Structure 1
Amino acid sequence: MQLRIKPAAETLGLTLQDLGRQVRQAFYGEEAQRIQRGRDDIRVMVRYPRDERRSLDALEKMRIRTANGSEVPFSQVALVESGRGFASIERVDRKRAVNVTASVDPAITSAGAVIADLRTRVLPEVLADYPELFYTFEGARAEQADAAGGLLRGFILALLMIFALLAVPLRSYLQPLIIMAAIPFGLVGAIWGHIIMDLDMTMMSMVGLVALTGVVVNDSLVMVDFIQRARNVHADLGREIRQAGGLQTDRREFESSGLQLAIREAGCNRLRPILLTSLTTFFGLAPLMLERSIQAAFLVPMAVSLAFGVLFATFITLLLVPVSYLILDDAQRALRRMSESRAATVLPGVLENAPLTLDGGKSAATQVVEASS
């Protein structure tokens, strides 16, 4: 039942709160005292007799006390309307809250699609009509958001740990970036795998993406390690040949010249191991991806992320790593030439403007000329 107050009640000083309180006291009761009996408290409630609380007619005959202490019939100050009411009233931060729950049929749509439609179409229309209304997604959606935040922190931590573990043995801050450049392509491959297998991105898919970051760098690491070793061998061999001819050379001169040859050798010698490693991983996860039982459905998205991510990143690695290595070498040589040319332009200016005298009374410029001759 819903109570509504009449305009006549306002002239008597009655409010809807007063009306509701008196009706509650009459039919539900008001606690008068508590009696202690052993370990239990017995509440003494004061209310209408049972016979006067069984029908709606008793409510119509009820008398309401006004602010000045007088009593008036209920029918003069209020109206009773039958309708649907709340079994319980919930509040969040002292504001009334209503929970709306639903079950999604996976054969028709997904929970993500329903929530996206609510955000873009339904809820904006409701907020336009009721500006004071606010909403939050709770339940499984809130738990999924919390889990996604934890996975994101774990993903960032995994990237930092991988970078540190690669930078220490390689003694470089740039080569680990070349190795880790395959990670974004692995993530793209995992997304395409879900599209090919007609699967939705789930929380286990995210777990597979985090695990993929540690697996997809293996092929790049094998390629970079072989290129670095072959480059060092060609540099040492070229220096020994020049020294055998009586020419003093710097080892860095042959590192760049032998890089392209080292990349060719790495592509030929590491192609089979890289392909076999990735294909065995993919086909090892294939039975789990193709399983259609209910027990395995929980792990299928994670297997799809790993399998397709590794497979897609492998073919990208065979092209990306050599090209990135050449770009890095070109950039380092350009910086080296700039620093050497800058040093060469500083020396003549110093000698020209300030001809310093060294031991023996000879100027620095004279010493340089004699040394070069």
Structure 2
Amino acid sequence: MVPFSSFATAHWTSGSPRLERFNGFPSMNIQGEPAPGKSSGEAMQAMEEIVAKLPQGIGFEWTGLSYQERQAGTQTVPLYAFSIIVIFLCVAALYESWPIPIANMLMLPLGVFGATLATWSRGLHNDVYFQIGFLTTLGLTTKNAILIIQFAKERMARGEKLVEATLGAVRVRFRPVIMTSLAFFFGVLPLAIATGAGAGAMNAIGTAVTGGMMSATFIDLFYIPLLFVVVSRLFKVEQKPRAPGSGTDFTPSPEDGPGLSTSPGALPGRGDKPEPIIPSEGH
């Protein structure tokens, strides 16, 4: 027998206790977490920059939560676009008009500005929880505009001019808008200031929603009337007057003769009671 030492030299060394493969290729699993004050997105970006410097033929793939985060990042823009389209269609169905919802859509940047500013001022990051609050802000931003514009349309249906009806709607709906917005703000505020386990997710959602709602509320009160008047005049939106007490549009025709009266008392069942017809003798 030939001893092993006569043709080879042996020494101890450290190595991986197991051999891993990913999609059939030899691989190495690298795990880590972001440093304090850094987001997971920044950590993933740093890893991608390091991998880009490796020799040709060596690649990488994200797995687990990192893979889900990357997938969610690519879906953000289509998700926002779909949300805006749904909001526009819902408002168009409410107003039964295509031009008027444009005034509501112009309010969205104000809510976006408030949500982004509040999140940035607290040092939070653009994570999935912020995106949830962001989507919520998009829907809530149009709420105040709906309260004012719908009331302005009803006043126009009663025969008021555009500017007069809009200003009257703002005066009447000012208190409901402020009260509902403050109620929502104080209801979500505990999320923004939460502490303890899971506070990061609650802070991200609460900060985005409260910031967007407050900016949309106090700025919308000045811009909603202006944008509604501008859009109505630009697209020549006119509200036909309605018959008193009816829910349908009512426009008297010029061809109607003198026998037709548009007063409430002239319509059966409205206003004064019609006098009974008494047949005369001989008929």
The question of whether the paired residues in 2 share the 8 Å contact of 1:151 and 1:207 is answered with no
CA distance in 1 between partners of 2:18 and 2:147 (Å): 64
User: Is 1:286 matched with 2:153?
Assistant: no
Counterpart amino acid of residue 308 in structure 1: G
Counterpart amino acid of residue 213 in structure 1: L
2:123 to 198, 202, 213: 198
1:170 to 89, 95, 104: 95
How many angstroms does 1:82 deviate by?
5.1
TM-score (norm 2): 0.72
User: Is 1:180 matched with 2:109?
Assistant: no
**Structure 1 residues not aligned, in runs of 5+:** 1-51, 62-73, 236-257, 335-373
Q: Deviations over 1:308-333 (max 9, x none)?
A: 11111122322332222222233224
Q: CA 1:211–1:149 in 2, change beyond 3 Å: closer, same or farther?
A: farther
Counterpart amino acid of residue 60 in structure 1: S
1:78-89 equivalent positions in 2, closer than 5 A: 83-89=13-19
How many angstroms does 1:165 deviate by?
2.4
How many angstroms does 1:195 deviate by?
1.9
Q: Which residue of 2 aligns with 1:332?
A: 235
User: Is 1:217 matched with 2:160?
Assistant: no
Q: Which residue of 2 aligns with 1:115?
A: 44
Structure 1 or 2, whichever has the larger Rg, is 1
CA distance in 2 between partners of 1:150 and 1:112 (Å): 15
CA distance in 1 between partners of 2:106 and 2:169 (Å): 18
How many angstroms does 1:221 deviate by?
0.5
Q: Which residue of 2 aligns with 1:274?
A: 177
The secondary structure found in structure 2 opposite 1:299 is helix
The secondary structure found in structure 1 opposite 2:45 is helix
Work out which structure has the larger RCO, using CA pairs closer than 8 Å and 6 or more positions apart in sequence.
2
Q: Which has the higher helix share?
A: 1
CA distance in 2 between partners of 1:165 and 1:89 (Å): 56
Percent same amino acid among aligned pairs? 20
CA distance in 2 between partners of 1:314 and 1:222 (Å): 12
Q: Which residue of 2 aligns with 1:364?
A: none
CA RMSD of aligned residues (A): 2.9
How many angstroms does 1:155 deviate by?
4.4
Q: Which residue of 2 aligns with 1:97?
A: 27
Q: Deviations over 1:131-172 (max 9, x none)?
A: 222223323221223345566665444433333322223111
How many angstroms does 1:207 deviate by?
1.4
The question of whether the paired residues in 1 share the 8 Å contact of 2:111 and 2:216 is answered with yes
Matched residues, number = 237
Q: Deviations over 1:275-300 (max 9, x none)?
A: 22212211222223222222444322
